[in-house]
Structure 1
Amino acid sequence: MFTFPLLLTIYAGFTHAFEADHLLAVTNIVSRRDHIWLSVKDGIFWGLGHSSTILLIGVLMILFKVGISEHSFHYFEAGVGLMLIALAVYRLQKFFRCKKLVIHTHGHTHSHPHRTADEGHKHLHVHFAPKQNFNHTQLQVHTHDHSHKLAFGVGLVHGLAGSGALVVLVMAQIKNPFDGLSYLLIFSAGCIGGMLVAAGLFSVPFSKKLIQAPVLQTLLIIATSVLCIIYGGKVMYDNLLLLLIS
């Protein structure tokens, strides 16, 4: 009797990670990584942040009987939309700043003699150092941030809204508080697993092989960031509109 609802709750948590707003957010997070393990860790921290908020709201509603109306979640949803826009703008700013630093750090100009049939002359050439010849200063430009604070913070905000919030509302209706919290924990475990997998999968287009193609990398990052801004704007508009007409 218990096995089926348990598996259903894990499945619901796992698939929750693959909702559109989650995928857009995680793509912008893992696009700065060049190693799948760092992306997977981002997914874990993203899931932990997301689950922390859901569990906190769940404890308030189930154990302490704090009433949070469905109306309030529209404000949370609008906040998530704003976060998606901010995340995309931040990602673009970091990406283009990094490209600018790489160009200014690695480029150098010098002159050398060229001999034609009649005479020698000098002209300028611009060279860029290959990866294997990077010095210490150049390596610092390419060093990636190994912190997962961004992923955890995005997860915290995301836990305030979406179907995760609806899950809390549903679980709050379960008469036995222990059962309600148990299912929230199981749902959260499924979320973390799903977000781990999603982060790993969506980091593949930004792997080292594709990063060797700068044009493709730039197009991917711009495309995912623009989609994130558009979707975030839609989420804000839809929820603020609902608040105005309600």
Structure 2
Amino acid sequence: MFTFPLLLTIYAGFTHAFEADHLLAVTNIVSRRNHIWLSVKDGIFWGLGHSSTILLIGVLMIMFKVGISEHSFHYFEATVGLMLIALAVYRLQKFFRGKKLIIHTHGHLHSHSHSHSADEHKHLHVHFAPKQNFKHTQLHVHTHDHSHKLAYGVGLVHGLAGSGALVVLVMAQIKSPFDGLVYLVIFSAGCIGGMLVAAGLFSVPFSKKLIQAPVLQTLLIVATSVLCLVYGGKVIYDNIMLL
């Protein structure tokens, strides 16, 4: 029957979810959330996307004997690096655009000319929206996106990273194609579980209690995005420039 221990396979998938590039991507995704449940769902969808790619490559290589060169997987890894950079830029752009929207919504800043004796000069004035309209505006500004397409898409691309090495390892260890695919399914289940836990843990700093501190929120989002940018650049350099 199976030539691999079930618990060890699940553990391998679980720990795979905690690799640095995975955590950076997911942290940037869950930083949009202030509810842990939405972050956990992002983690699940990331894991589903990641597993979809691994299983697709596994089926092509194990069942249909499709050969994929080692150089191709370097390009796959570089694509993941590019995605990490794009994700960081997207997160920063969304965050700072949201801040501008809140500023423009809460008040309107402009200048008036005033005459004092013979001199004329300008004063800055801030006009705030009436109270009765403010509640309506607040509700509109803080509407959250409950879609998990971004998490699934990022996971889908992320599955390219290391998927070839994993499938080749399975093919070397397990002779039966069916057993090999079962291994990948169990590995993927462990990966989904690991990412679920990781997304929940890494969403805690962005929860409602801490998100009320604007400086801390800005620092966390900028720091994780910059790390994502740097790591993405390193992945591209390691897999393209050093070939």
SS at match of 1:160: coil
> Counterpart of 1:204?
204
Give the 5 Å matches for 1:1-246. Answer: 5-107=5-107, 126=126, 134-162=134-162, 164-173=163-172, 174-243=174-243
Deviation, 1:242, is: 3.2
**Partner in structure 2 of residue 116 of structure 1:** none
Cα separation, 1, equivalents of 2:128 and 2:32? 22
Q: Secondary structure at the residue paired with 1:33? A: coil
Contact 1:159–1:165 at 8 Å: present in 2 too? no
TM-score, normalised to structure 2, is 0.88
Native 8 Å contact 1:11 1:190 kept in 2? yes
1:113 aligned residue = none
What per-residue deviation string (whole Å, max 9, x for no partner) do you get for residues 202-229 of structure 1? 0001010110000000010000000000
RMSD: 2.3
Partner of 2:113: none
C-alpha distance in structure 2 between counterparts of 1:224 and 1:149, whole Å? 21
Of all paired residues, the percent bearing the same amino acid is: 88
Contact 2:2 2:179 in 1 (8 A): no
Segments of structure 2 that go 5 or more residues without pairing to the other structure are 111-122
Query: Which runs of structure 1 show a deviation greater than 3 angstroms over 4 or more consecutive aligned residues?
Result: 1-4, 123-129
Return the alpha-carbon distance in structure 1 between the equivalents of residues 44 and 108 of structure 2.
41
TM-score normalised per structure 1: 0.87
Q: Distance in 1 between matches of 2:126 and 2:3?
A: 66
Unaligned runs of 5+ in 1: 111-122
Higher mean C-alpha deviation, range 61-70 or range 41-50: 61-70
Deviations 1:100-129 (A, max 9, x none): 00010012579xxxxxxxxxxxx9874878
Paired AA for residue 93 in structure 1:
Q
Compared with structure 1, are the counterparts of its residues 63 and 2 closer, same or farther at alpha carbon in structure 2 (3 Å cutoff)? closer
